[in-house]
Structure 1
């Protein structure tokens, strides 16, 4: 049988430089005589001469060219344009951008020229040292990179250590960046700011220097003793496998700052990662609450299938402060769904703001709920509107078509489902999931050749796809054609998932087509016992009927009616067996 799917649930910153002024040159003289005007006298503007620079000397043209190239992600063209612009502009910001682009494109000469121009125009020491360090790092010159990084952190610039971190993160050689981190970011040189110490410890951990990270974390605890330093050391201990040590340090952090929701969330996250969901939930139950604490508490309750707690949280969140409630509209919708309050869920999803990260998901869930509530026309209207709204966002557009198709499949409107899957495939051609879905739609509509073509194409893309092998094998068997190929495909699927009821059903139906009625009955009975699926029951009933056991077949058909009263498969089978 065909496996059924389950229901689903930079911004680039650029500070533009100054504008270039066009120079108006020339003079305007008016000739005339004793109060009489001449028809041939030139008008004043006829004498106005505007000096227009050629493009290479037009600052605005170069800035626009550089920006346009950036929108095309053509860094080389943008770098060339900014290289010309910096020579025309007195603004150090233009030279700074030229230097950044030259470094990004590994144009050493261009970067050096831009940095020199930037310095000449009054660039500040810290960002200049940052740029020189990045350039040295890109060339693999560790000695020069270290020298420039030491100049950078020695400037006393309040942003120096953040810039230092950016240089190392942008390095292409993690080992080289780690070496420079340990050499420059020493306890003796780090500033009197716990956040800088924690940032360097975290960077060391990311670069694979765990011993350094722990050293800095422990030194930060001794020097500052803040809740954040305790918590970070606790996190380090946890990742070392020392759960007791982690608990000690997190307990100290919370004792230092008991109302800090960030700390409680971090601690609860670690407990949850370790599988101690009850302790994680207990950690968050008391103390100040915000949207994040409610979200994690709900997630923990859902993981534990604790409907009682979800209901309690749902009631609490509905009566939370307005800002928390508004930012939690999507969560409230999810919880309402878990509690089978579909109308309430729709209302909450409708309150999700357009700029919320979950706005798309909320609209999608609304469409599914509308169909669940018997409002299919509204569901498809909602999806049609989303297809317009997300026309320029392929990932979201694909999903709206796919959900539209799945709703049509549930409604047994297979032609509409096929069209929706086909539109989705125009957005993401050769998408395996979409090909599988369209093939199901074709097969359900009786368009066997098209279904087989899609399944075969899918298997060319994914030769080891068990579901596709089973689906193609079943489709061939159901059409009573190419049975040796069907047998080979279903055998492959059985080898991969021998206990899958859908694959057992395919094998049993193939045996029926081959005339092996006893083997077909045995296999289909096993699939029917494992999963009371309407299609499996119809197949079993037909085999029993062909064995002359009509009463047994009718009993199975009666069970199928209870499972799916609208089963087209049952209707067509009964019409064929007992016209």
Structure 2
């Protein structure tokens, strides 16, 4: 509720108007011992006696007390202070503030007193009716609220309908608000202003009165025929499933204002949501371009996997005006990444301003690209700097640690990965994704007990987590321990996702541990054909080797080596088998 009254903090200037007047009293002189006037008698101010009011009657003290209470978000104390100030001040704005605060804290006697004082000081009819309507709503008096709202909109005040909407938005009873909206904001009473009609239609839609909202929107489009009224009605038609009607209305809107960027973006958004990427792209291709249109065009091209258009957009955006190019540095980096221009992407990400909404994401992408380019030390250095920069922002700090850990996992540096995951877990304890990641790091490092503990803990938090179920089952099977439990877990994962190659790999590896080589080979080959993953290939190769099919195994190992020359799993397996 405080934010509704934040505008009243501008009232600090009232304190200056309420300076306490000093009463002059007592002009008698005081004679010195010699009968002559003392030295102090020569100073006029020395003969003044200042009448200091008590705090309850000191306007400045009450205003300051009210402002200090507001700064602490102590509305009750602020209301009391402003209530006293209103009775002392001749300024109607102080009484207006007192009324607003009393209504906010639901102090009916104080609100009534403040409103009476405000009226006596010459309150304008519209805001006075607004306050009385708010008070009536807080008391649950719908009839009085309606009467005051009708007075409000009948004043002809330019802000009357905006104030009307504010009253209803602030209502604690949605049903009461909708009843008043439909009773007062009728087509017969609404002014000759399309913005008021649109505002009431949007308010009705927000309050769940879709039929009313559609009625007002349709009437507004017919009465005013502006681009905005056509577009709003088109949006409503679209959400009702009438795409043909929506398209016709948006076409009318564009005919009214073909260069309106916001209108083109709104239309393109609806078309994109319906999967019509081609029409949406054509709509945005024509007309003025800015950072928003380029971003939407890029998003549409990415969804459509249209590399040709992405390439064209990248070239166009690089030649765009400097202000557009600067505000689109992050988008340029993304486009460069899509086109596999990693070095160029790095340069664009480096140009993203510190106050840009995408600054964190740009830094994160830079670290990942540095890793992809073989510059691991720089990647981790970048992430270490981010961990310092975002120390006071937990969500971002957690993500920086997580990406650092993931990069270490890719490098096969599992101890460092575990440390980064653990630091992230200090920021967000019991985070399922982090527990899963750390469990994998422990498992890869051969610390089976710690891995099992993390996976078990994760399953306590999320008992139906299929990935954690599979990971725990695989870890037990890989360690060749608790195989009956491993079988139960992997069967549970298979039932949830029967076609998942990772789960099939776990099942095949379990069969290998159980000595079922033929079943293991069949399962692992199926997983390998479905998804050429290096670890699956290593498992399949080992099974083939144990079956005595060494050449077939070498062929699979060769494929794995081409896919991942640095595979730690392949290296360890070949060392163990010594082919």
**TM-score normalized by the length of structure 1:** 0.87
CA contact under 8 A between 2:317 and 2:325: conserved in structure 1? yes
What's 1:186 paired with? 186
- Is contact 1:15–1:93 with CA below 8 Å preserved after alignment? no
**Inter-CA distance 529–110: structure 2 relative to 1 (3 Å threshold):** farther
Per the alignment, residue 551 of structure 1 pairs with: 551
Where 1:566 maps in the other structure, the secondary structure is: coil
Q: Does 1:59 align with 2:62?
A: yes
Give me the whole-angstrom Cα distance separating, in 1, the residues matched to 2:83 and 2:12: 10
**Cα distance 1:532–1:66, how it changes in 2: closer, same or farther (>3 A)?**
same
Partner of 1:80: 77
Q: 1:36: which partner in 2? A: none
1:523 has 2:523 as partner = yes
Cα distance 1:457–1:228, how it changes in 2: closer, same or farther (>3 A)? same
Query: Cα distance 1:557–1:22, how it changes in 2: closer, same or farther (>3 A)?
Result: farther
Which consecutive unaligned segments of at least 5 residues does structure 1 have? 1-9, 34-43, 71-76
| Larger CA deviation: 217-226 vs 191-200 | 217-226
Q: In 2 relative to 1, CA 48–431 (structure 1 residues): closer, same or farther, beyond 3 Å?
A: farther
**1:69 and 2:72 matched:** yes
Please name the residue that 1:373 is paired with. 373
Q: Residues 49 and 144 of structure 1: is their aligned pair in 2 closer, same or farther, counting only changes over 3 Å? A: closer
- Contact 1:62-1:82 within 8 A present in 2 as well: no
Instruction: Map 1:150-549; keep pairs closer than 5 Å.
Output: 150-549=150-549
Tell me the SS of whatever aligns to 1:525.
Answer: helix
Q: CA separation of 1:457/1:426 partners in 2, compared to 1, >3 Å: closer, same or farther?
A: same
Corresponding residue SS for 1:17: helix
Counterpart Cα distance in 1 of 2:407 and 2:53: 62
> Residues 563 and 291 (structure 1 numbering): CA distance in 2 closer, same or farther, change over 3 Å?
same
Aligned partners of 1:31, 1:394: CA distance in 2, in Å?
Answer: 74
The question of whether the paired residues in 2 share the 8 Å contact of 1:83 and 1:114 is answered with: no
- State the Cα distance separating 1:492 from its structure 2 match: 0.9
Q: CA deviation at 1:63?
A: 3.4
| CA deviation string 1:545-575 (max 9, x = no partner) | 2223322222222221111111111111222
Greater mean alpha carbon deviation, residues 435-444 or residues 122-131: 122-131
Aligned residue pair count: 556
In structure 2, C-alpha distance between the alignment counterparts of 1:299 and 1:218, rounded to whole Å:
32
Indicate how the Cα distance of structure 1 residues 25 and 417 shifts in structure 2: closer, same or farther if over 3 A, else same: farther
Is the alpha carbon distance of 1:180 and 1:25 closer, same or farther for their aligned partners in structure 2, counting shifts above 3 Å? closer
* In structure 2, distance between residues paired with 1:500 and 1:203: 47
Q: CA deviation at 1:321?
A: 1.8
1:15 to 6, 10, 14: 10
Contact 1:63 1:81 in 2 (8 A): yes
Q: Report the secondary structure of 2:542's partner residue.
A: helix
> Counterpart of 2:12 in 1: which secondary structure?
coil
Deviates more, 1:13-22 or 1:342-351: 13-22
C-alpha change, 1:116 and 1:348, in structure 2 (3 Å) is farther
Q: Using CA pairs below 8 Å that are at least 6 residues apart, which structure has the higher relative contact order?
A: 1
Q: For 1:305, what is the secondary structure of its paired residue?
A: coil
Measured in 2, the distance between the counterparts of 1:32 and 1:552 equals 126
Check whether the contact 1:490–1:507 (CA below 8 A) recurs between aligned residues: yes
- My pick for the range that moved more, 85-94 or 419-428, is 85-94
Unaligned runs of 5+ in 2: 35-44
C-alpha distance in 2 between matches for 1:22 and 1:369 = 67
Structure 1 window deviating more from structure 2 (449-458 vs 239-248): it is: 239-248
Find the counterpart in structure 2 of residue 563 from structure 1. Answer: 563
Distance 1:120 1:417, change over 3 A: farther
Are the counterparts in 2 of residues 82 and 95 from structure 1 also a CA contact under 8 Å? no
